[in-house]
Chain A
Amino acid sequence: MTDSKYFTTTKKGEIFELKAELNSDKKEKKKEAVKKVIASMTVGKDVSALFPDVVNCMQTDNLELKKLVYLYLMNYAKSQPDMAIMAVNTFVKDCEDPNPLIRALAVRTMGCIRVDKITEYLCEPLRKCLKDEDPYVRKTAAVCVAKLHDINAQLVEDQGFLDTLKDLISDSNPMVVANAVAALSEIAESHPNSNLLDLNPQTINKLLTALNECTEWGQIFILDCLANYTPRDDRESQSICERVTPRLSHANSAVVLSAVKVLMKFMEMLPKDLDYYGTLLKKLAPPLVTLLSAEPELQYVALRNINLIVQRRPEILKHEMKVFFVKYNDPIYVKLEKLDIMIRLASQANIAQVLAELKEYATEVDVDFVRKAVRAIGRCAIKVEQSAERCVSTLLDLIQTKVNYVVQEAIVVIKDIFRKYPNKYESVIATLCENLDSLDEPEARAAMIWIVGEYAERIDNADELLESFLEGFHDESTQVQLQLLTAIVKLFLKKPTETQELVQQVLSLATQDSDNPDLRDRGYIYWRLLSTDPVAAKEVVLAEKPLISEETDLIEPTLLEELICHIGTLASVYHKPPSAFVEGSRGVQHKRLPGSAGSGESVDSPDTGSAAGVSEAPPAVIPSQGDLLGDLLNLDLTPPTATGPPPAPSSGMQMGAMDLLGGGLDSLMGDESEPPPIPLRTDTPQSPQLSHQSPSPPDYSPTELGGDLGGSPAMGAGFGAPAAAMPASFSAPVSGGLDDLFDLGGGVGMPMGAYSPPKTVWLPAMKAKGLEISGTFARRAGVIQMEMTLTNKAMSVMTDFAIQFNRNSFGLAPAGPLQVLTPLSPNQSIEVALPLSTVGPVMKMEPLSNLQVAVKNNIDVFYFSCQYPISMLFVEDGKMERQVFLATWKDIPNDNESQFQIKDCHLSSDAASNKLQGSNVFTIAKRTVEGQDMLYQSMKLTNGIWVLAELRVQAGNPNYTVSLKCRAPEVSQCVFQSYEAMLKN
């Protein structure tokens, strides 16, 4: 017979039936009925109608039945206060019962009935029970005082229960002491100023004695209470620590953590040169590590606390890095916390290990975790200077994975690295720029824009990059908008001649089209600055930034101190003071660490000497949007260099601002035949107004700037001017390298021979505003060619074609301009052959034969990437001497050998050899062993890498085996692919 049957009664006349059963004479039947009632209660049915009947069952000497009835009472008494009175008599009587278990039960239950009328009757029995001869009753009564205090605090004070409770601290029974301590601590919390928990050396001594004897829970109560005590001197502090340390070996993690709290707090008072201080530090580490083998939930609590401890006293766990390494099947919350602590513990000594781990984590599945791991790599770079280079290269490796969120996260941290180590790692900017298009998160976009702006002078096409962001300015988040504004202003200050229209555009977007006050204000500040005194602007905007400090997320020292006093509690889990999540008066008082003994201050009260504990200066904490604020900070800090007072409507600065805009708009109006609508905001007092005056501030002529702006094609285009009218000044600076291309001589038609794959579509018309490009690569008479078909699928004529390559593995670069001499009309196709050289800039790509191409025409710039067959890089003098071949084959380590299968190839070995020869794969020797032909072949790449091959062909077997040996084994895969392609064609 099981109890679950009580859950299943769903009959209609249930209440009535239960009533009858409750009034039954048979004890068993009554018991069954009460159980049913409780089951109904649990599932949420209202059984309050049965109150009188259940209360009637109370008067029994059967403990089981009594307990059941009490359970019911606790639930319903509040809703039926009048009837609850009926139970009082029984309670009072039960408190006198000879059986201590019943006495305790009665006093425990009474405290749970929160009805005012009952509490009055509770006082007398409670008083008796507090002095009961039986410890079980006393320990229950002690808690009951706290219950009563929760209902009616005044009553408890009036009745003098608090004094009785204090007496219980000296009780002979350890559990009574523990419960009394718990009750007193709780009551004291709601009376911050009462000296309720009058802790003095005598009571402390009693508590420490009880500590050794009471249950694990009691130990927690006592330790938590001890933590509130402030010892008189370092000697007392040490003696308490000595008596608390054995608790570190307790199996209960909560006991351990509470002991750690007491020790962490009292340690503040010990002089650092004391031997015992060192011993104590050493003793703290092992138990903290042991906490990590507890169940995951406790690990989480422990890790959150360790995070605090590590910030306060990093020396304790500095050698324990390994235990924080993440295990594959740790729950995610444990993983994230471990990662945090790993960074805190990272130092020069262990950085190699940490980085290896972090790199490992960055390939895991959980997105949050991976992001945090990537971020952690950046933090390591900032924290441990010696590791910065390693970190940067790790981050670059991760960017190569092209996993979107990894790339974005990496860019965000690289920005911080740039801040920390200016002018050191800028060589990676090119790689970052490649990933510009994949950035879709504001933080990453903002970071990238900051980088472009900050290093505008080194990025050839910085203006283009920033302009591309500007297109969707209003769709960007504020963070990105602010950053874009600053970056373009920086760019302008660095390259004033080419970017005037850009800066004008962004300033007008920020000040006139935006309703974000921050953005508008910053826009105006820049505007005035630029128009008043560009030299000053330069000093302000391009000022040297303060270096960022190593830790980005240290907890603020006073909060940290408070949290250390709350080790083990929720506050330490949330890393928030209790007042942030506890309602009412409870826990609002701020705890402080005691001052150290050496400070010479009196430490009688917990409030004094709190500052003495913090000896080190608080490290500077960078704000989350460090650079944004940094920039503003610069603005604030730099004294105005030029024309006097800060902007006021009547000042000279204002005039300048007006003039800049005025000139610009003026010229604009001149260009367009009709005046455009002037989107001026009139709601700000600083609103610039049209003006034809032009007082020139020193060094720079705003009129000139304004005039140029007016003629700018970008603005013109913005107002709907036809694209054909685009002046040369726009198309020229597309990028630095492009100009050179136009000069070089053209394409050559070439005889066949080498393998060339069929043309594939590289750039679909959909993606390129109507321009479709398909193409292939070929090697004709020793010249590598890129053969393309350009098709115009748009409605308008295309002109002004140009092409440029990104850096690639073999330094491929156009050897001449793209020969498209006549404009490409709609639905027209043109065949172009572009000769390529291999002397361009080299960067390893993934895959190796990947080539990223930019094609420009009068409409836009388009990007695509394609892969070339590596066979076109095989040079004509790739035939190796037999002896050299043999020696080289032996010389290259076997690890570099890779073997591939070519399936379904029906050529004889000679035919294959001939075919390959056409593509500059030279057969050096042939051997026949047991009907199997072995061809030994060599080829040489344009960059001088030799590849040796052994091709095994068995008559009648369509599967070939190729073994490739090369000093650069990464090319093997590509070579194999080419082999397959060459043989099958």
Chain B
Amino acid sequence: MIGGLFIYNHKGEVLISRVYRDDIGRNAVDAFRVNVIHARQQVRSPVTNIARTSFFHVKRSNIWLAAVTKQNVNAAMVFEFLYKMCDVMTAYFGKISEENIKNNFVLIYELLDEILDFGYPQNSETGALKTFITQQGIKGQHQVINITHCSSVRFIVSACGAVPYLLSALLMIPLHTFFLFSAFSAYQPSPFVSSDTVSLPVPQTKEEQSQITSQVTGQIGWRREGIKYRRNELFLDVLESVNLLMSPQGQVLSAHVSGRVVMKSYLSGMPECKFGMNDKIVIDKQGKGGASDEAGKSDLGGGSGKQSIAIDDCTFHQCVRLSKFDSERSISFIPPDGEYELMRYRTTKDIILPFRVIPLVREVGRTKLEVKVVIKSNFKPSLLAQKIEVRIPTPLNTSGVQVICMKGKAKYKASENAIVWKIKRMAGMKESQISAEIELLPTNDKKKWARPPISMNFEVPFAPSGLKVRYLKVFESKLNYSDHDVIKWVRYIGRSGIYETRC
């Protein structure tokens, strides 16, 4: 199992060092610094074996986290643990930076003592940890502003105040479509007992204590009992990233959507939830049973009118009962409080590619390139894509670039060796074009320019996979609220993942 865990700054100075096993000596700390941190370019694997000691590392900005072992550990688990460690630290004190780590070193030691025992990862759910970890996180000056919160609020304003631009940009749709909720307070969880502010130094009563321990060790380790909200509310974000690799001739070499359903739940008690989407297997099953009414009715907006989608694979947060999903394909769970990722999924069939990039690169003589790129938007004309950015790589020996584009702004960025073309907004079924002349310095470099692919970034207000949320039902038998009292919001955002067209 994990023998020790070290955190270094970019210079290789140790910020945190916790050794769990006797076989890891102090020299292990130095071995990693010398062989990995100080030999950056040569290290070509996240797992390094130095003198029969294995080091696993991940980097967050310029901080190195390294786990050390001398045994045949489960490597996947070590990395998952390191990621989890990063998540927990981020939840406590924001960005992982040298400053924040120094500010919170006592907390980090306490956490490391709790979530890793003799190198075995233990319960590491932030929600549960906060009930019995004595230290509190100290956030640095550079606070992370939760962007999703802000943008949602903006939408609600626009929904009421009719600013159509923003409306389509960030479409946030109440699950009960007829129910339009008003104004700002919507996103503030009613602070009856705000879960964020829980800090329990030492639980005084025996009941409290055993409640904590049973929660930490129990089946629902991610949620504590006794959560109360004045208003029960939940938010679902369907966040997709659409990936594409296209040949210069417009042939799709590979395309897939990796999506996430992120849920923010502000629900009282221990609610039992059931989540439904237009999964082909489920719809087909229901179709045979003759009860397909629900599927057709609840088209909650989005890019296309596809009835159901084929999901290649999905994975779930540990709160979801996997055996139930395996047998009935139903997604049921008791959610953690606050924000978490309910599921991830992947689709490869019938993907709506929001943009098509048509490149034309011509080499004129040895010192000139002519580039023409056309982008076409391929979705409903009523929807607006945002934050469109096309990145056209230029050769290293570029001396000057002239660009003409019909829409947006384009600039040659010498430091990045690329022409960056930005368009704020673009409606569906439109096209736009950029042409550029690239002057090259003559070189005697024999090696040809590799022509990296043209990449694209964008954000669209629909799910390119065609996924739709059909329902999210909440049952809490002990408390007196029903499914209808819960206010639910759904939003779809499709972003570009690696969206490349070769030229």
Q: Are A247 and B453 in contact (CB under 8 A)?
A: no
Q: Are A568 and B72 in contact (CB under 8 A)?
A: no
B487-503 residues with Cβ-Cβ distance < 8 A to A are 498, 500, 502
Is A572 interfacial (CB 8 A cutoff)? Answer: yes
Q: Are B58 and A67 in contact (CB under 8 A)?
A: no
A32 to B81, CA, bound (A): 30
Is A497 interfacial (CB 8 A cutoff)? Answer: no
Q: Are B76 and A100 in contact (CB under 8 A)?
A: no
Q: A39-B105, A254-B74 are in contact. Are A325 and B446 (CB under 8 A)?
A: no
Q: A101-B213, A246-B323 are in contact. Are A114 and B22 (CB under 8 A)?
A: yes
Q: Are B134 and A67 in contact (CB under 8 A)?
A: yes
Is A293 interfacial (CB 8 A cutoff)? Answer: yes
The CB with the most chain B CB atoms within 10 A, among A101, A139, A173, A302, is that of A101
Q: Distance (Å) between the CB of B204 and the closest chain A CB?
A: 9
Q: Are A150 and B22 in contact (CB under 8 A)?
A: yes
Contacts of A973 in B (CB 8 A): 365
Binds A, one of B114-122, B170-178, B286-294: B114-122
A44 to B214, CA, bound (A): 38
Contacts of A2 in B (CB 8 A): 102-104, 138
Q: Are B218 and A327 in contact (CB under 8 A)?
A: no
Q: Are B498 and A100 in contact (CB under 8 A)?
A: no
Q: Distance (Å) between the CB of B280 and the closest chain A CB?
A: 14
Contacts of A253 in B (CB 8 A): 76, 79-80
Contacts of A328 in B (CB 8 A): 452-453, 455, 498, 500
Q: Are A301 and B202 in contact (CB under 8 A)?
A: no
Q: Are A4 and B99 in contact (CB under 8 A)?
A: yes
A830-851 residues with Cβ-Cβ distance < 8 A to B are none
The CB with the most chain A CB atoms within 10 A, among B52, B80, B210, B314, is that of B80
Q: Are A38 and B106 in contact (CB under 8 A)?
A: yes
Q: A71-B109, A297-B56 are in contact. Are A213 and B219 (CB under 8 A)?
A: yes
Is B253 interfacial (CB 8 A cutoff)? Answer: yes
B336-372 residues with Cβ-Cβ distance < 8 A to A are 341, 343-344, 346, 364-365
A62 to B451, CA, bound (A): 64
Q: Distance (Å) between the CB of B486 and the closest chain A CB?
A: 24
Contacts of A325 in B (CB 8 A): 245, 253-254
Chain B 209-241: CB-based contact to A (< 8 A → 1; otherwise 0): 110111011110100000000000000000000
Contacts of B113 in A (CB 8 A): 67, 70-71, 108
A402 to B125, CA, bound (A): 56
Q: Are B202 and A62 in contact (CB under 8 A)?
A: yes
Contacts of B317 in A (CB 8 A): 251
Chain A 728-770: CB-based contact to B (< 8 A → 1; otherwise 0): 0000000000000000000000000000000000000000000
A287 to B345, CA, bound (A): 10
Contacts of B326 in A (CB 8 A): 245-246, 249
> Interface residue count for A (Cβ, 8 Å)?
116
Is B91 interfacial (CB 8 A cutoff)? Answer: no
Q: A99-B209, A328-B498 are in contact. Are A256 and B315 (CB under 8 A)?
A: yes
A441 to B74, CA, bound (A): 39
Q: Are B14 and A42 in contact (CB under 8 A)?
A: yes
A287 to B500, CA, bound (A): 25
Is A35 interfacial (CB 8 A cutoff)? Answer: yes
Q: Are A252 and B318 in contact (CB under 8 A)?
A: yes
> Interface residue count for B (Cβ, 8 Å)?
103
Contacts of A892 in B (CB 8 A): none
Q: Are A300 and B118 in contact (CB under 8 A)?
A: no
The CB with the most chain B CB atoms within 10 A, among A111, A137, A290, is that of A290
Chain A 213-250: CB-based contact to B (< 8 A → 1; otherwise 0): 11111001100100000000000000000010111011
A249 to B75, CA, bound (A): 19
Is A134 interfacial (CB 8 A cutoff)? Answer: yes
Q: Are B450 and A570 in contact (CB under 8 A)?
A: no
Chain A 60-103: CB-based contact to B (< 8 A → 1; otherwise 0): 01111001101100000000000000000000000000111100
Q: Are B217 and A101 in contact (CB under 8 A)?
A: no
Is A869 interfacial (CB 8 A cutoff)? Answer: no
Contacts of B23 in A (CB 8 A): 583
The CB with the most chain A CB atoms within 10 A, among B47, B71, B77, B312, is that of B77
Is A377 interfacial (CB 8 A cutoff)? Answer: no
Q: Is the interface of A mostly helix, strand, loop or mixed?
A: helix
Q: A325-B253, A332-B44 are in contact. Are A4 and B102 (CB under 8 A)?
A: yes
Is B386 interfacial (CB 8 A cutoff)? Answer: no
Is A945 interfacial (CB 8 A cutoff)? Answer: no
A135 to B79, CA, bound (A): 27
Chain A 128-150: CB-based contact to B (< 8 A → 1; otherwise 0): 00000011110110011011001
Q: Are B80 and A333 in contact (CB under 8 A)?
A: no
- Other-chain residue from A42, A179, A252 in contact with B80 (beta carbon distance below 8 A): A252
Binds B, one of A358-366, A592-600, A609-617: A358-366
Q: Are B71 and A38 in contact (CB under 8 A)?
A: no
Is A900 interfacial (CB 8 A cutoff)? Answer: yes
- Other-chain residue from A175, A213, A360 in contact with B502 (beta carbon distance below 8 A): A360
Is A436 interfacial (CB 8 A cutoff)? Answer: no
Q: Are A212 and B322 in contact (CB under 8 A)?
A: yes
- Other-chain residue from A64, A176, A257 in contact with B76 (beta carbon distance below 8 A): A257
Q: Are B117 and A572 in contact (CB under 8 A)?
A: no
A63 to B365, CA, bound (A): 76
Is A286 interfacial (CB 8 A cutoff)? Answer: yes
Is A323 interfacial (CB 8 A cutoff)? Answer: yes
A565-617 residues with Cβ-Cβ distance < 8 A to B are 566, 568-574, 578, 581-583, 586-587
- Other-chain residue from B82, B219, B325 in contact with A249 (beta carbon distance below 8 A): B325
Q: Distance (Å) between the CB of B309 and the closest chain A CB?
A: 15
Q: Are A249 and B341 in contact (CB under 8 A)?
A: no
Is B190 interfacial (CB 8 A cutoff)? Answer: no
Q: A135-B218, A360-B502 are in contact. Are A289 and B72 (CB under 8 A)?
A: no
Is A564 interfacial (CB 8 A cutoff)? Answer: no
Q: Are B344 and A251 in contact (CB under 8 A)?
A: yes
Q: Are A583 and B104 in contact (CB under 8 A)?
A: no
Q: Are B450 and A403 in contact (CB under 8 A)?
A: no
A174 to B215, CA, bound (A): 12
Q: Which residue of B lies closest to A186 (CB)?
A: B1
Q: Are B70 and A582 in contact (CB under 8 A)?
A: yes
Q: Are A568 and B217 in contact (CB under 8 A)?
A: no
- Other-chain residue from B117, B210, B318, B447 in contact with A143 (beta carbon distance below 8 A): B117
Q: Distance (Å) between the CB of A137 and the closest chain B CB?
A: 8
Contacts of B341 in A (CB 8 A): 251
A569 to B71, CA, bound (A): 10
Q: Are B75 and A573 in contact (CB under 8 A)?
A: yes
Q: Distance (Å) between the CB of A386 and the closest chain B CB?
A: 21
Is B481 interfacial (CB 8 A cutoff)? Answer: no
Is B284 interfacial (CB 8 A cutoff)? Answer: no
Q: Are B49 and A134 in contact (CB under 8 A)?
A: no
Is A3 interfacial (CB 8 A cutoff)? Answer: yes
A303 to B450, CA, bound (A): 26
A3 to B500, CA, bound (A): 46
- Other-chain residue from A38, A136, A220, A246 in contact with B216 (beta carbon distance below 8 A): A136
Q: A174-B219, A403-B446 are in contact. Are A300 and B72 (CB under 8 A)?
A: no
Q: A212-B323, A252-B80 are in contact. Are A217 and B120 (CB under 8 A)?
A: yes
- Other-chain residue from B54, B253, B447 in contact with A581 (beta carbon distance below 8 A): B54
Q: Are B254 and A3 in contact (CB under 8 A)?
A: no
Chain A 311-326: CB-based contact to B (< 8 A → 1; otherwise 0): 0000000000011010
Contacts of A173 in B (CB 8 A): 217-218
A252 to B316, CA, bound (A): 8
Q: Distance (Å) between the CB of B378 and the closest chain A CB?
A: 21
Q: Are B109 and A566 in contact (CB under 8 A)?
A: no
A272 to B486, CA, bound (A): 51
Top 6 nearest A-B pairs (CB, nearest first) are A286-B313, A136-B213, A4-B102, A254-B76, A246-B326, A64-B134
A sample of 9 inter-chain contacts (CB < 8 A) reads A3-B104, A3-B106, A42-B14, A136-B214, A143-B120, A173-B218, A251-B318, A254-B76, A302-B76
- Given contacts A175-B122, A258-B77, 12 further A-B pairs with CB under 8 A are A2-B104, A99-B203, A135-B218, A216-B318, A246-B326, A249-B315, A249-B325, A254-B77, A301-B76, A322-B253, A568-B75, A573-B47
